[in-house]
Amino acid sequence: MRKDKWSDYILSIPLFIFFLHEIIQVGYIYFMCYSFFYQFFLYSLFYKINFYNKLNFLLKN
């Protein structure tokens, strides 16, 4: 058993901060892409519904 365990912990702290930063960055990029695609999907869905309603209205008259 070694006695200098605190030096190992001090050396592992910057590595832990680096990995935490990477995880946060990847999660943020994933969240931004997901929200963008979700907004695009909602917009396309609304556009399709609007288009079909206009088509139906034109065909009825």
Helix and strand numbers (H, E) in the chain are: 1, 0
Give the model confidence (pLDDT) of 11-22 as tens digits: 788 888 888 889
Give the model confidence (pLDDT) of 31-60 as tens digits: 888 888 888 888 888 888 888 888 888 888
N- to C-terminal Cα distance for the chain?
A: 89
Tokens linked to 18: 């680096």
φ, ψ of residue 31 to 5 degrees: the values are -65, -40
Residue 61 is given by DSSP the state -
